[in-house]
């Protein structure tokens, strides 16, 4: 019985891997030159090209991408949100933190039996968790190229933990979550102070010399988004574990 189950899981994993491999093959055939992670010479299929060529005024007019703070990233909304208005997101994150502090006091602790989940949920939970983690990681890595960002990425990553909680698998300990949250919060504010020392403004981008539209560009924006994503994911997962402890 156990061998049949592991065989089934292996078949499903092979199917998912083959789908991913097919898409990688397709992308490498489209560019014609295989996969190059850091290709600085002939970019043909970049995610950001659709954003950079988008035009709402006229077909023939071209926007000039320069080195100022507004257009360091291909997605201008992101550079405005992160460079100018990161205070919004950090204060939202602090509000979430205070909410979770309140959870521990308000919810009464009483023990209850955990209902065992069905076999389907228990077996499919790791596969779904891997998919969720992939989507969440894509969100904050590509936050400066396409729609997305730190906050929804953190929410999607925390839904992976939620699936683990629903399937009765305890994936993380609460101490790990608290360490992740503390490290992310401290590094957000220390980066802010560093940018205040270097450029004179809080949360301003001080790494600008990159080619716009690449994956490794836009300076501090992906770093800030990654930190925010980890902090939000840790905070939201804390809520689930707070419920899970006694229900």
Partner 1 sequence: MVNRVYYLGLIIAFIMAFGSLWALLTDDLFKAIVVFGIVSLSSSVMFLLMQAPDVAITEAAIGSGITTALFIFTYKKLEDRKDER
Please list every residue from 118 through 177 that binds partner 1, using CB under 8 A.
139, 147-149, 151-152, 155-156, 158-159, 162
* CB environment 20-58: b (16+ within 10 A), e (fewer): eeeeeeeeeeeeeeeeeeeeeeeeeebebeebbeeeeee
Judged by beta carbon, residue 156 or residue 218, the one nearer partner 1 is 156
Judged by beta carbon, residue 206 or residue 240, the one nearer partner 1 is 240
Q: Give the chain's radius of gyration (CA, Å).
A: 22
Q: Cα–Cα distance between 163 and 124 in angstroms, integer?
A: 10
Judged by beta carbon, residue 164 or residue 195, the one nearer partner 1 is 164
> Which residue stretch of 6-14, 175-183, 210-218, 239-247 sits at the interface with partner 1 (rule: CB under 8 A)?
239-247
CB 23 within 8 A of CB 138: no
The answer to whether 239 contacts partner 1 (rule: CB under 8 A) is yes
Judged by beta carbon, residue 9 or residue 135, the one nearer partner 1 is 135
Considering the complex, what minimum distance in angstroms separates the CB of residue 166 from partner 1? Answer: 8
Binding site residues, partner 1, CB under 8 A: 77, 112, 139, 147-149, 151-152, 155-156, 158-159, 162, 236, 239-240, 243, 247
């Amino acid at each position: 019985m156990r061998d049949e189950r592991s065989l089934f899981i292996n078949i499903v994993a092979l199917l998912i891997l083959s789908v991913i491999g097919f898409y990688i093959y397709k992308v490498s055939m489209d560019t014609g030159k295989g996969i190059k992670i850091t290709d600085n010479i002939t970019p043909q299929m970049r995610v950001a090209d659709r954003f950079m060529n988008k035009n709402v005024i006229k077909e023939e007019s071209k926007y000039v991408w320069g080195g100022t703070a507004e257009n360091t990233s291909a997605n201008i909304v992101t550079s405005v949100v992160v460079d100018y208005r990161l205070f919004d997101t950090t204060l939202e994150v602090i509000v979430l933190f205070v909410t979770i502090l309140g959870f521990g006091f308000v919810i009464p602790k009483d023990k209850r039996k955990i209902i065992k989940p069905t076999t389907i949920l228990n077996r499919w939970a790791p596969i779904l968790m891997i998919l969720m983690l992939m989507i969440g990681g894509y969100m904050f890595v590509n936050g400066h190229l396409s729609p997305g960002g730190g906050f929804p990425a953190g929410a999607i990553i925390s839904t992976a933990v939620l699936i683990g909680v629903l399937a009765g698998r305890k994936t993380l300990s609460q101490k790990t979550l608290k360490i992740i949250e503390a490290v992310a919060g401290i590094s957000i504010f220390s980066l802010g102070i560093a940018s205040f020392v270097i450029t004179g403004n809080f949360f301003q981008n001080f790494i600008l010399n990159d080619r716009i539209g690449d994956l490794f560009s836009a300076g501090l924006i992906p770093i800030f988004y990654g930190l925010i994503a980890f902090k939000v994911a840790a905070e939201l997962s804390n809520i689930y574990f707070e419920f899970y402890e006694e229900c």
